[in-house]
Amino acid sequence: MSTPAPTLTIDIVSDVVCPWCYIGKRKLEAALALPAAAGLPAVSVRWHPFQLNPDLPPEGVSRKQYLEEKFGGPQRAAEIYARVRAAGRSAGLELNIDGIERQPNTRAAHALIQFAQQSGSETGSDVKERLLKAYFVENRFIGDIEVLVDIAREAGLDADAARAHLSDPAQLQAIAQADAQARNMGITGVPFFIFNQKLAVSGAQDPATLLDAMQQAVTAAG
């Protein structure tokens, strides 16, 4: 009887409207591309929901209103996002934050990621990437179910099945419960990486730090 090949499971708690989550995704990819990462076992990534703004209405709010409520106005937001854009560039991302017109509730977007993950880890990561790009680069309103269905279709998923999944109250409730579970675990900021359910790293850390954590998790697994 053959022994199953070892794997490195990476659980990532994040939101699709979190710029640091997009940057953290790029840094994880960079970590996995380092020469020293060649010794790692096969990697399986699982995405878990976290809503930065769970109380936003399903139709979202104007970006101007959102910035005023969250940061006290556009001037303070501009200072914060200038640093975010610089960090994004260093990770190879050109974030069009000023082009965002509406702040979405992301519960349905997270439901789309969970739907995609039913087709495998790579499909889930592909849809996660498409959602981040749609929001931060293309400035599409990812709070709209039809926009999400379009993204599902672009990823090669069945559009009707995706629409049914996103319209199912039970699926949306499951996202809310997963979000609450993450908070009950003590997760208050994202991205949050958990390697082999043994070692956690909070924030968009540099690739070397992420690789070191992965190597430690693999060693601990024996």
Q: Give the tens place of pLDDT for each residue, 42-87.
A: 999 999 999 999 999 999 999 999 998 899 888 899 999 999 999 9
* Mean per-residue pLDDT, 87-113: 97
Longest Cα pair distance anywhere in the chain, in angstroms?
A: 64
Burial zone of 157 (CB within 10 Å; 0-12 exposed, 13-18 middle, 19+ buried): buried
Q: What angle do CA 90, 18, 9 make, to 5 degrees?
A: 85
pLDDT in tens, 157-199: 999 999 999 999 999 999 999 999 999 999 999 999 999 999 9
pLDDT at residue 75, as a whole number: 87
The answer to whether 26 touches 60, Cβ cutoff 8 Å, is: no
pLDDT at residue 35, as a whole number: 97
* Mean per-residue pLDDT, 192-213: 97
Q: How confident is the model at residue 4 (pLDDT cuts 50, 70, 90)?
A: low
Q: How confident is the model at residue 2 (pLDDT cuts 50, 70, 90)?
A: very low
The owner of tokens 């082999």 is 196
Q: What's the mean pLDDT when you consider all of the chain?
A: 95
Q: Domain map of the chain by residue range?
A: 7-221
For 139, the token pair is: 């400035």
Sequence letter at residue 113: I
Q: Which of 153, 133, 135 is nearest to 143 (CA)?
A: 135
| pLDDT value at 3 more than 60 | no
By percentage, how much of the chain surpasses pLDDT 70?
A: 97
3-state SS, residue 59: coil
pLDDT at residue 127, as a whole number: 98
The answer to whether 109 touches 70, Cβ cutoff 8 Å, is: no
DSSP assigned state of 206: -
Architecture of domain 7-221: 3-Layer(aba) Sandwich (3.40)
pLDDT at residue 151, as a whole number: 98
Q: How confident is the model at residue 1 (pLDDT cuts 50, 70, 90)?
A: very low
Alpha carbon distance 157, 119 (integer Å): 9
For 191, the token pair is: 């991205």
* Mean per-residue pLDDT, 140-163: 98
pTM, 2 dp: 0.96
Alpha carbon distance 49, 36 (integer Å): 30
103 φ/ψ angles, rounded to the nearest 5 degrees:
-90, 120
